[in-house]
Chain A
Amino acid sequence: MSQFTEYKDLIQEGDIALIWISRGNIKAVTIDSKETFNTRYGSFQHSDMIGKPYGSQIAIRTRGTGRFAFIHVLQPTPELWTLSLPHRTQIVYTPDSSYIMQRMNCSPHTRVIEAGTGSGSFSHAFARTVQQLYTYEFHPVRYEQAKEEFKKHGILDENVIITHRDVCEDGFTIKPTDTTSAQFSEEEITSGMKQLNATAVFLDLPAPWDAIHHLDKVIATDEQVHVCCFSPCIEQVDKTIESLENNGWTQIEMVEIQGRQYESRRQMVRSMEDAMQRCRDIKRRKKEGIEKKQSLIEREENNNTTSTNTEHTQREPFTEKAKFNPFGKGIRVKEGDPGYKWKQVTKIESEIKSHTSYLTFAIKLVDKTRNETLVQECLNETK
């Protein structure tokens, strides 16, 4: 059973879990009752997690300070995995990957080719949804790492086949002699290759035009096939379009996806009336201060004529403590402090991904014929 394709209720020994420490700090761990998970806030025993439902908050008091610290234990999903994974390469993020999957109509009927595997982020998202994923990686170390990871995550046994291959040089066919995770049936051994019949192709390669012409051997011929080429530069797009046109792909369209995240914040509502009132207050206090001082001086001058005691003249004039301070000036006010009025606002992330890659889509339909006898039978049935 794969952690990535089945919903689990409880955290169990041997599970791969994602530990959420904070946004941007999510760690994958294998649950082992003898282990502890250490953070700078304290240590969390795996044994405290085992048996609890996924999503549980695990709380501790740290030994030194006695502070309350906690983490959340989550079951991995492809999207959470994307946020936590070890980057072997630049990865395809969720705004791009989700659009690509939707546009290529990915469903339990789709057989996908992905080249290259890279960090395997998109592979996990494909594997969740599609019937079969064929992924190719030309870098030998990354191939091994990805294969191990897919195995550990249980998706290699389900619907993922990874092959070590430079697809630009050697195309996409998978033969029994290749370095691949594929298992071959008797029939496939006799025919010397796997029948891929891919219905969707994702090419994340520096030179997709060197790979496009190899696709004809491995794509389905009796139904529409979608392709998406993922390239950061416009010059690559131009060459990709040329290659797609020359190889019979149609409905070519390039798009760009812009994903944005917003922070929910609050801004203090500071009314004009309060601002004016505050000015009046300052003015009044200033005036009163001067008046008080003056009256004091006057009184003391009067007193001076009757008394020689000058102690009183040294005293500071009395000031009232409660200033009119509607905006909390001079105090540290926490955003959202219930003593003040707030307006809910959004703020865009301080750094946004302004460009990931251009997505060039196209469609190919190889066999545009129909089975006349079958059609006749169907028509006869409808009288």
Chain B
Amino acid sequence: MTEMSFPGSRPLNLSRRGFLSGTAGLVLATALPLRPARAQEAAAEAGPPVPLFLAIRPDGTAVLQSPFIEGGQGIYTALTQIVGEELDLDPAQFEVVPAPPGAPYDVMGGFRFTGGSSSVRSSYELMRRLGASGRAMLIEAAAARLGVPASELTTKPGLVVHAASGRETGYGDLSEAAMELAVPADVALRDPADFRWIRAGLKRLDIRGKSTGQAAYAIDVEVEGMLSAAVQHAPRLGLGPASVTNLAEIEAMRGVHSVHLLDGAVAVVADRFWQARRAVEAAEVEWQETGAEWPLPADFSSDGYRASLLAQDGPGLEVEAEGDAGAALAGAGTVIEAVYGAPFLAHGQLEPPSATARFNADGTLDLWLPNQAPEMFLAAAAETAGIDPSQVTIHSQMLGGFFGRHFLYRTANPFPQAIQLAKATGRPVKLVWTREEEFLRDAVRPLGTARFRGAVMADGSLALSAEVLGEGPTGRWYNAPAGEDGSAHEGLTGKPYAIPNRRIGHVYADNPAVIGYWRSVGHSMHDFFYEGFLDELAEAAGRDPFEMRQALVAGSPRHVTLLSEVGKLSGGWQRGPYQAEDGSTRARGVAMASPFGSEVATIAEISVDGGEIRVHRVWVAIDPGSIVNPAIIEAQVQSAVALGLSQTLVEEYIYEDGAPAARNFDSYDILRPDQMPEVHVAIVESGAPMGGIGEPGLPGVGPAVANAAAALTGRRFRTLPLSGHDLSAG
């Protein structure tokens, strides 16, 4: 994985501080800092601003300002483990809250976001220093209080201890004095051999509240005096409302406050959301073409877009190469060619998007909303409201699932509508998008496709040329130039295999749809393409796919170990087909992926029943270098396997005539409970730089399943979802 920074202009002019432009550059989701960001480096010199991150209450419990948003990935708990370890305070004694936008919480070097599986690894050193500095300040305060040298003091969880006199003082009693002290510039960190909470599978802080209905999300926000709103979006992006022909009827409906024509939507504001929804759905709207910047063509379709991609000529911009793939393939006896593809996908997070906006008497704006990047939402909200960013307060909320859904996507966030409605009504307004309106405006995982040519050379080595066609979200939203947009090719690039002659090209092509980040981004499909084709090469070489991968990573001990671990975890590699105890005929497939700084090897076991794939077991070995909470890692891998399997088996967001065909879960399948396989996880700690956790479990699932299907049926499945293929056919 490479670090990418791209200077240059911004499409959205979002920031008063220009954090996305000029020399600040940008490092986003697909490519994260492997070295400490500047803020951390600065903190290392001056000491982190402890009082701004950490408050210790008189009762000895602590409140931690989290730069990152909790959405189920366990970040709040992980941060308390890291800070608590160094502060010497039991992680269970923490409350964690989302930090407001701006410094000092922009810990990725002048900005931050929750994504790219980056929260822990990008802040690990800072959080340790934060805890250690806080502990030093508490000791210093205790030294003054007790009139003894700080060197005579030590701590145990929540207490400063003077062993010589047997005196102990609680952190809660010392906090007020401690937080007045200068933050020490240089503090010793705990020896990892003495860790008690880092690397322990501690229980999460948010579980009981989420098991008893007490956890609150953006959709649950209530502000005094607020009205509720619902929208009807134009059926196709680019249309806007000309009129509501039954306006009087709508305005007369119970609870309705007012009806509003917005950019690309009609909104009804009412006393209750249900009233607003019923009214807006009854609205008869005349739609007309508008001057929208990105109208979706009236004839836009998934099939048409796929065909237009495949009509693009290669070889595209070279994004990775070694040796001379062209010459090798020209001299090869047999060249294998294949085209792989994957569809658009919806995020389908179970909490529909919402936003609550309130203008205050002094002209300032308060905004409650789900988001993965508070600084960006703040700037965009200020622009929408026509006020200075200093006049806007963002209240980030717990996310009811995100998977990439809550980045700033021009037409996919409800908050601009909420701001306009609050302004128009003079009242606080909570806007909720119904599931149907969400499907209509989600920022979808791009449809993607890649062309492969490959050969087994006379010396047994492989030659490979791949061209990936399309556009990535980092190009779309952050101006990554073609050729430097990792989100458009990751998973075809960065593979661990020793292939002496290879070339990966990116053929850039505009995607008319509003595309976004989806859990594991480009890896979500590109590893499926690559690992499937690699199995095709193994077949051509007459080699077992597991054995061939072992040979291809033989020069990398980290990957040798990982493959060996997943093999062991699965009870020893066997491809099959073989007869299982229940009488079913099963086969297995294997795949490797290198997403977000971690390394992953996956084996899946399947059978076919009534023409449909049944996935029985999935084994995942993951090497994130080093870890914070193994229980959270296991849970995140389970989750990533579920989402990976969902897109492998059933998911497909289809455009027809400029609009999505599916508007709810009755026409867009996601993985059901009875489709969930057993998942077994092995964590390998190689000691490599810390990698990500939330996304890396996903990319290997699709190819492992598809490769198993090939082993079972003798046929290759090169497009997702697999439900699109009849596996019973011979």
Bound together: no
Interface residues of B (CB under 8 A from A): none
